[in-house]
Structure 1
Amino acid sequence: MSTPTATPDIAEDIDLRAAPLEPWQVVVWNDPVNLMSYVVRVFRTYFGYSVDHATSLMLAVHHDGHAIVASGPRETMEVHAQAMHEFGLWATVRRAPQ
């Protein structure tokens, strides 16, 4: 006598390709608390930006109210935003426009 074998129902038409990585952005917002020199120092020490690039971003934050300081995978951007919070900066993460 033969033992019956169980055959699971398998949907063979499932697409198993990985979803494309969507870019996300870290936005730092202007605040009335932090000095401009401090914001430049944070961008330089945390992101490793040059003086000119960090200053340009700080001026965008100051004059425009915000600046995109980093872009990449969502999880990485969430880590960066948390780091900005730990430095006392107001930062959010948003999906990059397509």
Structure 2
Amino acid sequence: MPFMTAMPDVLEHVEQVQALQADQPYVLIVWNDPVNLMSYVSYVFRSYFGYSEAKADELMMQVHQQGRSVVSTGTREKIEADVAAMHGFGLWATLSKADAA
């Protein structure tokens, strides 16, 4: 009985899909919490991400009013580091694929 393998065009398609998924950016989501002051959240955004006071305040207000804000975008590894940093500052943060945010 002959050994069957996947057709080259199918393998090429699978490789293209995997490459697209690997290139897909991730986002850092910071969530509202009942503990941290708004001024502190803005300070964290300025000090860690280097945002201007206006940008940090805008993101902080999204967190406060909408319950969450996408604060950073990048590779999974970068966003995982950002999540760990936000946890170190005492903020609630998660990561998600960019299209799912």
Which band: TM-score by shorter chain? Answer: 0.7 to 0.9
- Quote the residue 1:37 is aligned against: 39
Q: Give per-residue Cα distances to partners, 1:76-98, cap 9 Å, x unaligned.
A: 00000010000000000000117
Using structure 1 for the length normalisation, give the TM-score: 0.81
Tell me the distance in 2 between the aligned counterparts of 1:51 and 1:27.
19
Structure 2's unaligned 5+ residue stretches are: 1-7
How many aligned positions are there? 88
Could you list the per-position Cα deviations for residues 34-62 of structure 1 after superposition, in whole angstroms to 9, with x for gaps in the alignment? 00000000000000000000000000000
Aligned-residue offset at 1:19: 1.6
> Which structure would you say has the larger Rg?
1
Q: Is 1:58 aligned to residue 60 of structure 2?
A: yes
Counterparts of residues 10-21 of structure 1 (less than 5 Å): 19-20=19-20, 21=23
More helix by share: 2
The 5 Å alignment of 1:46-85 reads 46-85=48-87
Q: Which runs of 5 or more residues in structure 1 are unaligned? A: 1-12
Q: CA RMSD in A?
A: 1.9
Identity %: 50
* TM-score computed with the length of structure 2 as normaliser: 0.79
What SS is found at the alignment partner of 2:99? coil
